[in-house]
Amino acid sequence: MKPPVASAAFDLGLTEEAREDFRHRLELLFREGCAIFGPAKAAKLFREQARAAPKECRLARAMPPRKRKGPHDPESDKYLVQLWMAGHWKSKHDFARKALKNQSVKIRKKIVGKVVGKNRDQDEREVKSIIRRLDRALQRRAALRQIGRQKAKA
């Protein structure tokens, strides 16, 4: 049998030897408890001690998952810009509300129309998403025009 270690710091070390020594001492304590109180009472005492032990606390919260950009669909962006240019809209928000009804979604590999009006918060998120897509598509269109002008001058 190993001689008892005087320092408590040895117990807190992460070495396998320290862990094994601690397991061995716990086993001896449990056997002693079984001899004094009986196995059922010793097990109950050990469980009560385990419940009373301080809970592990997390010091740093996990970072939230990063937003992933969805797949880019240039064809639908082109149609979105064409629809924007063809109509007379009060605002981009008004346009996006009207365009939301014509959006489609894939559910279980089937393309279905988007349900509008069930969840107002979700609808607003979708509207803002359409506005962002339209803005990006319009910026891309303007950038392409600029490149075309530069090529024509050269």
With b meaning 16 or more CB within 10 Å and e meaning fewer, what string describes 4-13? eeeeeeeeee
pLDDT band at residue 28 under the 50/70/90 scheme: very high
The secondary structure of 56-103 as a DSSP string is: P--SSPPPPPPP------HHHHHHHHHHHHHS--S-HHHHHHHHHTT-
pTM attached to this predicted model: 0.46
pLDDT band at residue 40 under the 50/70/90 scheme: very high
Distance CA 57, CA 37 (A): 33
Mean pLDDT of the chain: 79
**pLDDT for 8 beyond 60:** no
Q: Give 89-148 pLDDT, tens digit per residue.
A: 889 988 888 887 777 666 677 666 666 666 777 788 888 888 998 998 898 888 877 777
**pLDDT for 42 beyond 60:** yes
* Torsional sign, CA 124, 88, 115, 131: negative
Q: Give 15-26 pLDDT, tens digit per residue.
A: 778 778 888 988
Burial degree of 116 (CB within 10 A; 0-12, 13-18, 19+):
middle
Query: How many Å separate Cα 127 from the centre of its chain?
Result: 23
Beta pairing partners, 106: 111
Widest pairwise Cα distance in the chain: 98
Beta pairing partners, 113: 104
**pLDDT for 35 beyond 90:** yes
Distance CA 93, CA 61 (A): 37
**pLDDT for 32 beyond 90:** yes
Residue 123 has a pLDDT of: 80
